[in-house]
Amino acid sequence: EFFRCRYDLPGNVKAYFISEQVSHHPPMTAFAYYCPEKNTFIEGDLRPKGKFLGNSVGVFLSGSTRIYLKDFDEEYIVTYPNMYARGILFGKMVLEIGEKATITCAKNDLLFRIEFKTKGFFGGSYNQVSGKIKNISENEILAEISGNWEKVMKMKRKTSKGATESVFFDSEAEKITPLIVADIEEQEDNESRRLWRHATKAIAGKDLNLATEEKTKIEEQQRNDVKERAEKNETWTPRFFELGHDSKYHPLLHFTGLSSETAEASNKQIEEFIFSKK
């Protein structure tokens, strides 16, 4: 199963995204993002593990994202917080993000450790965060960030004149760039939106019984495919990614393999890689 799309960004800038389920047991998804005109490239993997917690379900996320800014020759490593669905048996259904995540840039000797705070049973608020940006070698706190990650977060920084506070993120000031995805009819059978279209429609219609039936059909077909490959002694390999010596999945078209001539030439390479028909 895979998902692919592109973005048309301001200034006639193009960006591309590809993700693929590279393992079913255990579940694992690899992904890559390319934006040659901004010399920004992202790759990573997501390895979720679910656990029932009474009236909640926890999804514990391992793996990491690597962001490479070519103009500055900087790499940022991002780890993930966990997710929780509360109230699955009784009470109000709520989705929360909890625990800690980090962003590290070894070149700049910087570490950002942020805690996503879950709402307490008797008090507190949803979507609260607090974090600190540190100099790694000196363990010196350079800035603190706090607030509501869904609405507004503020940053306090140390300066020679004392501490200053400014808005770090304001969701009202942000714009969402729409995904450009092929119509369902034009997608391959195992592209995510086509594969899950009936289950998605059932969920949108709040028909959970039908959604479960459609989900079961997909999972049974996947199990049958695995059994058939085993009987034929065939080994399945991902289409867009490969497992590296570092035990992480990397795109077959790596950023270092893009054309150095022009961004337009790189875009053409990426489009041929992501959108080619099998």
- In the predicted model, is pLDDT for residue 68 greater than 90? yes
CATH of 39-178 among 3.30.450.20, 3.40.1190.20, 2.40.160.120, 3.40.605.10: 2.40.160.120
Q: What is the mean pLDDT of residues 14-34?
A: 95
- The CATH architecture to which 185-236 belongs is 2-Layer Sandwich (3.30)
Which two three-digit tokens encode residue 109?
A: 């000797």
Whole-structure pTM value? 0.91
For 230-243, write each residue's pLDDT tens digit.
999 998 999 999 99
Does position 184 have pLDDT exceeding 90, yes or no? yes
The domain locations on the chain are 39-178, 185-236
Residue 124: the pLDDT is 83
User: What are 107-160's pLDDT values in tens digits?
Assistant: 999 999 999 999 877 778 999 999 999 999 999 999 999 999 999 999 999 877
pLDDT at residue 278 greater than cutoff 90 = no
Say what percent of the chain tops pLDDT 70: 100
261 pLDDT band, cuts 50/70/90, is: confident
Instruction: Output the average pLDDT for the chain.
Output: 94
